Amino acid sequence: MKKKLAVFVAGLALVAAASAAPTLNPTNGHYYDYIGVPGGFTFAEALANAGTLTHAGWTGYLATVTDMSEHTFITSLTGATAWIAATDAAAEGTFRWVAGPEAGSVLSFTNWSAGEPNNCCSAGEDEVVINWGAGGTWNDIGNPSFPDYRVGYIVEFSAPTGVPEPGSLALALLALAGLGAAKRRKQ
């Protein structure tokens, strides 16, 4: 019995370690997690997989990095090269976010490695990785020059825009309940 319990507890520890919770960035209130597996992900796989993850009821998306503070926080999570949600596949040289609340907008912040982006190798590079060089700098890589390039990715979780915070919703429900009770007393 003791041996079975020890095996069970060890199994729980492995599951907990494999599914560590995302980390809160107190500056912007978003959560982030580095997702890495042996063999990594292509950009398309990372983009699709990030959208299937949830945390605190929020759906994930491939991270968008909008300022140096956010960049510093993300690179503190891992030193591994990882996909972020930027690409210039639609218009060469114009990098846009393809996920999250910023989807469709041109990047207003970048942190390129020296000589990047360079659209290398005549066929081109369209997707962006973070932690390519010192200080977490970025590189354009991926399709079509390197369609099988595989690394981990950064998933970001933020509250949907236009949706009330849970506390606000609870207060609104309490107010409605109070109105209903007051109306019943009048009758």
In the DSSP assignment, the letter for residue 122 is: T
Residues whose CB falls within 8 Å of the CB of residue 126, separated by 6 or more in sequence, listed in order: 43, 87, 88, 89, 140, 142, 143, 144
pLDDT given at position 14:
33
Could you report the per-residue pLDDT of 24-53, keeping only the tens digit for each?
Answer: 999 999 999 999 999 999 999 999 999 999
pLDDT given at position 9:
34
Could you report the per-residue pLDDT of 39-94, keeping only the tens digit for each?
Answer: 999 999 999 999 999 999 999 999 999 999 999 999 999 999 999 999 999 999 99
pLDDT given at position 171:
43
Q: How far is CA 122 from CA 2, 43, 50, in A?
A: 63, 20, 30
Q: How far is CA 36 from CA 3, 55, 158, 175, in A?
A: 32, 17, 20, 45
Rounded-to-integer distance, Cα 106 and Cα 100, Å: 13
Q: Name which of 162, 112, 159, 108 is nearest 137 in CA terms.
A: 112
Rounded-to-integer distance, Cα 19 and Cα 52, Å: 15
Q: What is the pTM of this model?
A: 0.75
- Contact between 126 and 143 under an 8 Å Cβ cutoff? The reply is yes
